[in-house]
Amino acid sequence: MDLSEIVADIAAEMAEAPDRGTPADYIPALAGIDPQRFGIAIVEADGGCHLAGDAEESFSIQSISKVFALTLALGAVGDQLWRRVGREPSGTAFNSIVQLETEHGIPRNPFINAGAIVVADVLLGGYEPREAIGEMLRFVRALAGEDDIVIDAAVAQAEMETGHRNQALAHYMRAFGNLHHPVDRVLGVYFHFCALAMSCRQLALAGRYLMARGINPGTGRSVVSPQRARRINALMMSCGHYDGSGEFAFRVGLPGKSGVGGGILAIVPGRASIAVWSPGLNARGNSQLGTLALERLVQRTGWSVFDPQAG
């Protein structure tokens, strides 16, 4: 199986795809990104790296950062986190407030906005916001083994100015006692996490620990236990694409986490870490071409976790 040829073929097919989705227009810094952009990167367990398209172009990873924030929060407080955040698919839009009232301010999972805001509140414990943001940046740089990963200040500022729904979610959870720090401080941390900027190659490198039973192959050091890596992957499979998670599992069959910047991180346990990026989104806020590209990749490699030959 020639992965370099496969990713090159997929990139060529995506260049010709007529339905490219629409970039997230409610975040001004993302609205003007060219929907013709497409990148894909695969990093294998043995270190092989296969790139095509705009795989070296940096983009705002947005909600993909929730995977790394969850990893840090579990390291900080362990299973106590699950007293404040659930582990079930939401079945609603990523920024919905509907379930919070009936479920007493406990978000369904850490990958919807409300859940990630609680995770940010956990990570703020004992830190100033700037310190919590710096800790996340250091963590992601260490995972990828790259020091030029940055937080896009313009994107963070735009989100702070336009994130009214997130403010509503945070205030609502604060009213239920599920936020322990002032809303503006928590949201400052959350918005800066979302504004992490990475390339497909860097993102695939950062995700390697999830395909390697919690070990960072770049350093040989443990990031999380094998059990915790498995559980993070399980949450990515069931909740990583908001109310489109079932469709993504049906079409792709891999643990994955999307972001409204157009990126998707997907994991083939034991085999590969994959990142795709194309800024046009479908109706559920997930990358239109990114999803299609991963579907075609799985068809050609047999990498779905539901394929008996995937291991």
Residue 308 lies in a domain: no
Band the pLDDT of 29: cuts 50, 70, 90. Answer: confident
Q: 16-20, 87-91, 164-168 — which is least confidently predicted?
A: 87-91
How far is the CA of 16 from the CAs of 37, 174, 289, 290, in angstroms?
A: 11, 47, 11, 14
Ligand-binding site membership of 161 (annotated): no
Residue 211 lies in a domain: yes
Ligand-binding site membership of 159 (annotated): yes
| Tally of domains in the chain | 1
Give phi and psi for 254, each to the nearest 5. Answer: -135, 150
Residue 287 lies in a domain: yes
C-beta of residue 15 within 8 angstroms of C-beta of residue 38 = yes
Which are the catalytic amino acids?
63, 66, 190, 242, 260
Ligand-binding site membership of 113 (annotated): yes
User: Helix H segments across 163-270?
Assistant: 164-175, 183-194, 200-206, 208-211, 226-239, 245-251
C-beta of residue 174 within 8 angstroms of C-beta of residue 120 = no
Ligand-binding site membership of 225 (annotated): no
Q: Looking at the predicted structure, is the pLDDT value of residue 186 above 90? A: yes
Residue 307 lies in a domain: no
Residue 203 lies in a domain: yes
Percent pLDDT > 90 in the chain is: 87
Mean pLDDT of 43-47: 95
Ligand-binding site membership of 63 (annotated): yes
Which two three-digit tokens encode residue 290?
């990114």
**Higher per-residue confidence, 97 vs 260:** 260
Q: pLDDT (tens digit, 9 = 90+) per residue, 293-310?
A: 999 999 999 999 998 665
Q: What share of the chain is helix, strand, coil (3-state, %, to 5)?
A: 50, 15, 35
Band the pLDDT of 311: cuts 50, 70, 90. Answer: very low
Q: Which domain holds residue 225?
A: 3-301
Residue 238 lies in a domain: yes
Query: What is the pLDDT at residue 207?
Result: 98
Mean pLDDT of 259-281: 97
What CATH number does residue 18 fall under? 3.40.710.10
Ligand-binding site membership of 216 (annotated): no
Residue 311 lies in a domain: no
Q: Looking at the predicted structure, is the pLDDT value of residue 169 above 50? A: yes
Residue 310 lies in a domain: no
Spatial separation of the C-alpha atoms in residues 289 and 278, rounded to whole Å: 6
